[in-house]
Amino acid sequence: MESSVVLTGCTVVDGRVLDGTGPLPGAGVWVRGERIAAVGPAAEVTAAARAAGDVREIDLGGAYVTPGLVNMHTHLSLSLPGRAGDALKDMGPYDLALYMADGARRTLLCGVTTVRCVAEKDHADFALRRAIAAGHVPGPRIYTAGRALVCTGGHGHEGSDTLECDGADGMRRGVRSQVKAGADLIKIMISGGIAGEHEQIATRQLFSDELRAAIETAHSWGRKVTAHAGPARVVAEAVELGLDCVEHGYQLTEPVTALMAGRGTALVPTLLVTRCESFFAELGVPEWMRRRSLDAGPRHLESYAMALAAGVEVLLGSDMPPFWPFEGTNATVRELEHMSGNGLGPARALYAATLGPVRWLGAEADLGTIEPGKYADLVAMDADPLAATSAFRGVRWVMRGGTVVRDDATGWAVP
C-alpha cells in the first residue's frame, strides 16, 4: 500500500504567484506515494485524506512550503585549478562515484531536489542518476549534459568532464556521443572563461560552422543546448543559430540581451563565480584565476542588469557545488540571494529557482509547482520567501518524492 500523508500548519507558495495564484495560508497538502493528491484548506484536505483510508498527519508549525529548489548549473565532480582540484582529478572511478554520491546527498539535504549537471567526469553522472532513481543512494533528480563539448585546448579541456571536438563533423559526433550515453541536453564551450589559464574570457573558441552543427544536431535529437559563454559577439551568433541558454554571460550588451529576450534564450548568470574569493582560497586556486574572477565581477553584474531590463528569462545556477557551505548558507541559496538583491526581487527569484527551470527542462507536468499530480518535492522554512529570499537560509524540512529526507524538528536527515 502506498504511503499517505497530509501536511498541515503551513502556507503554500510557488512560482505561480507571478500569475496571481496564491499564496495559500492555512493550507493542507495531501501526498499519496510520490505525488501530491490534493492541495487546499487544511480541514478539507485532511477530511478527504481520512475518508480515503489511513493517513499520517505532519504539522509543519506555521512554515512556508515551496517546491524544492532547482539548480541549473551543477558540477558534482568540479575540479578547479589548484590543490583541491588536483586531489579530485587523482581519484579513481570508484572514489569519484562515491564522492559524487555524497555530494548528491548533501545537495538534497539543503533543499535542492533537482539539478542540471553541465559537465561531469567520466560519465559518472549517468551511473549516479540511475542509482538515485533506483533508490540505492539519496539525491536530487538529475538532468545532465554528460561531457561538455570543447574545441581542442578549449575551456575545460584538461578534465574528463569535457570532450574535445573540432570542425562541424566533430561537433556532430560529439553531440551524438552524449545523446548515445543518455544526455538530456548538450553543453558547448563557445568562449574562454575564468578557469582557463591560457585563454581570456573573451577568447572565441568555436567557429560558425561548429556552432551551427552542434545546435542543429542537438535540436534534431530533441535536446536543448546551453553554452558556457562570456563575450557578447559570440553569444549573439549562437543565439541567432538557436542557442537555448547562456551560462555566465560575463560581457553581454543591450543589443544582445534584447536578442536573447526576443529569441527566448535563457540566462543562468552564476553571479557567485565572480564574487567567491573565500571559496577560491579554500580550494587553493592560483592567483591568476582569483584575480580574473574578481576583476570580472563589476562587468558581470552590468550584464545581469541588462538581461533583467531586456526581459531575459533568468534561472538559478550556482556553478559552485550546490551544497557548499558559503557565507553563512549554501552556494545555491547565496546565488539566489545575489540574483534577488541585484534586481530580480523575491517573487521572481522564487520562480527562477523552481518553475522557471522546470519549464526550461520540459518537466512542468511533474515538477515546479505544488499542485495535484506533481511529484511531492517540497521544502519548508519559517520565514516568508516572498518577503525576502534569505528565507531559504532557514530551510528546515525537505521532502523528495513523498519521502521526508530532512526534518530539523526531529533531527532526522537521510544518512
Identify which has the larger pLDDT, 88 or 137.
137
Sole residue written with cell 543546448:
225
Same domain, 337 and 199: yes
> What does the pLDDT read at residue 1?
57
Q: Does residue 188 share a domain with residue 109?
A: yes
CA distances from 413 to 56, 115, 137, 404, 407 (A): 19, 20, 13, 8, 6
Report CA-CA distances (Å) from 391 to 8, 65, 120, 384: 19, 11, 31, 6
Share of the chain above pLDDT 90, in %: 92
pLDDT band at 82 (very low <50, low <70, confident <90, very high): confident
Residue 89: per-residue pLDDT: 87
Residue with cell 574578481: 294
Task: Output the nine-digit C-alpha cell for 96.
Answer: 569519484
**Is residue 375 located within the same domain as residue 318?**
no
Q: By 3-state DSSP, what share of the chain in percent is helix, strand and coil, each rounded to 5?
A: 40, 25, 35
Number of domains in the chain: 2
> Whole domain around residue 92: which residue ranges?
69-361
Q: Both 284 and 377 in a single domain? A: no
Are 237 and 157 part of one and the same domain?
A: yes
Same-domain status, 324 and 393: no
Sorting pLDDT into bands at 50, 70 and 90, what band is 198?
confident
> What is the band of 85 on the pLDDT scale with cuts at 50, 70, 90?
confident
Whether 3 shows a pLDDT value over 60: the answer reads yes
Same domain, 355 and 276: yes
pTM (predicted TM-score):
0.97
Number of Cβ atoms within 10 Å of the Cβ of 268: 28
pLDDT at position 179 over 90: yes
Q: Which residue among 345, 361, 377 closes a domain?
A: 361
Instruction: For residue 137, name the pLDDT band (cuts at 50, 70, 90).
Output: very high
* 17 touches 350 (CB < 8 A): yes
**CATH number of the CATH domain containing 49:** 2.30.40.10
